[in-house]
Chain A
Amino acid sequence: MSSSDNMSSLPSPPEPDKSPCPFYPNHLFVEGVCALAVFAAIVIVALVWQVPLEEIADPGDATYVPRPDWYFLFYFQLLKYFQGPLIVVGTFVLPVLVMAVLILLPFFDKGKATGIRKRPLAAAAGLAGVVSIVALTAVSVLEDESHTTKMVLPPVTEAQIAAGEKIFASFCQICHSIDGKGGFMAMAPDLTEIASRVSRARIEQIIIDPQVVSPTTIMSVIPLSEEERHNVSAYLSRKK
């Protein structure tokens, strides 16, 4: 076999195989079939799971709730637990630590054993890593769902809208412009057409916790009672 002579001088030659299957053409053929199947699967998913392009980016619309692609969700969720001065733990300390452990792994895990049963510590650590990433991703998805679906709101009445307009004028309009009035804070988005962009439940949620829009928003929590909040969201839900 020609491969044996060009591999004889290597530090660690592969174990000699009793009935070797040559890479070309046998194994390459199997890989080709696999590749075709993968290609077909991707095409089918691409055809079935059409994600429409969203509206063009509007830098003025800070009400948009950004979400990263699914494979960054676990990290996005993790960062929610490190707010304020602790944020650096989430954005720097933890990632650097995890990367350092990953890179150095083969240099401190020097045991000869490769079988998973002979390496309980490594197996446990690997499993813990996988489980925490899956769990964080799941929590992130579930939190998003519960925020948007579980809010029970009273039906909108004219009285609510009138009351909401007054509350809006005294609490919100200083920063947010609406119908060409108010809005003395340049960064606060104009809310004239807010209801065409976000749902009423979303408006309520932003009033309760402005940080859902963006962890770095400067909007403060407005001290409204539940009823006042419903009034404001009723008023804004008519602004299309």
Chain B
Amino acid sequence: MGRIYQFLDERLNLTPLLRDITDHPVPDHANVLKTRSAFIYCFGGIAFFIILLQALSGVFLMLYYSPTPEDAHASVTYIQNETAFGALLQGLHRVGASAAVIMVLLHMLRVFFTGSYKNPRELNWVVGVFLLLIVLAFGFTGYLLPWDQKAYWATTVGLNMVANVPLIGDFLASALRGGNEMGTLTLLRFFVIHVMFLPALLAIFLAAHFFMLRRQGISRPL
């Protein structure tokens, strides 16, 4: 290990980089080993961990999933019944989605009630609000993908709500739907939004979130 690290460090100068990532003290009020109530500072980290789990389980689900109205339902059935650990993987992704929402909300409540959004962390709060919206958008788009009755009709109602937005509603709804009727394009769009657009957005906003956290440190205790 040491020699490999030395080899890489000589060529890539890793030490300052690693020091930035790993070498910073965690204040006592956010350390569970020293302050029992510090567990409320864990929610954000747990939310991030669950998001990683979602990315991982999602990638494996994509190996079998087919985003067309003809095949989507059958491919999900196949994942559940025929593939190794498929049912568990699919269950994990579904439960993980709920867990991510719960943890993001808890994290947000912690930040709100400890007043952590105040100067100098205003911008990180704003980024956090967008992260909440992104996580909810993941939930909304992912709900359609199994293409079962629940998926289809809940999305129909959701898109009807979008269409009710003044001025741009109709345009927005038909852009999401890919026309006037739910079908092949709708499913493909929701799939691409779910696995390409949203992950990219999520990565950018998460990077900003963590960058600001490291620059500003964890907020002081009450």
Check: A58 CB closer than 8 A to any chain B CB: yes
Check: A30 CB closer than 8 A to any chain B CB: yes
Partner of B42, one of A34, A67, A113, A116: A34
Check: B120 CB closer than 8 A to any chain A CB: yes
The reply to whether A79 and B149 contact each other, CB–CB distance below 8 Å, is no
Residues in B whose Cβ lies below 8 Å from that of A112: 118
Residues in A whose Cβ lies below 8 Å from that of B76: 53
Partner of A53, one of B80, B109, B215: B80
Residues in A whose Cβ lies below 8 Å from that of B34: 21
Interface size on B, residues (CB 8 A): 84
Bound complex: CA A115 to CA B220 (Å) = 10
Q: Which of B45, B94, B149 has the most CB of A within 10 A?
A: B149
Residues in B whose Cβ lies below 8 Å from that of A155: none
The reply to whether A24 and B22 contact each other, CB–CB distance below 8 Å, is yes
Bound complex: CA A72 to CA B87 (Å) = 25
The reply to whether B31 and A12 contact each other, CB–CB distance below 8 Å, is no
Bound complex: CA A2 to CA B23 (Å) = 7
Residues in B whose Cβ lies below 8 Å from that of A7: 24, 217
Nearest chain B CB to A94's CB is how many angstroms away?
12
Check: B64 CB closer than 8 A to any chain A CB: no
Given known pairs A10-B215, A11-B120, A109-B118, the reply for A22 and B26 (CB within 8 Å) is: yes
The reply to whether B119 and A110 contact each other, CB–CB distance below 8 Å, is yes
Bound complex: CA A56 to CA B75 (Å) = 11
Partner of A91, one of B92, B109, B161, B218: B161
Task: Please encode chain A, from 46 to 80, with 1 for each CB lying within 8 Å of some chain B CB and 0 for all others.
Answer: 11011101111111010011111111100010010
Residues in A whose Cβ lies below 8 Å from that of B164: 87-88, 91-92
Residues in B whose Cβ lies below 8 Å from that of A152: none
- Pick from A36-44, A143-151, A220-228 the stretch touching chain B: A36-44
Kindly report which residue of chain A lies nearest to residue B135, judged by CB atoms: A71
Residues in B whose Cβ lies below 8 Å from that of A126: 109, 112-113
> Which residues of A1-31 have CB atoms within 8 Å of chain B's CB atoms?
1-3, 6-7, 10-15, 17-24, 26-28, 30-31
Check: B136 CB closer than 8 A to any chain A CB: yes
The reply to whether B92 and A43 contact each other, CB–CB distance below 8 Å, is yes
Nearest chain A CB to B219's CB is how many angstroms away?
7
- Pick from A98-106, A163-171, A172-180, A231-239 the stretch touching chain B: A98-106
Check: A186 CB closer than 8 A to any chain B CB: no
Check: A119 CB closer than 8 A to any chain B CB: yes
> Which residues of B154-170 have CB atoms within 8 Å of chain A's CB atoms?
154, 156-158, 160-162, 164-166, 169
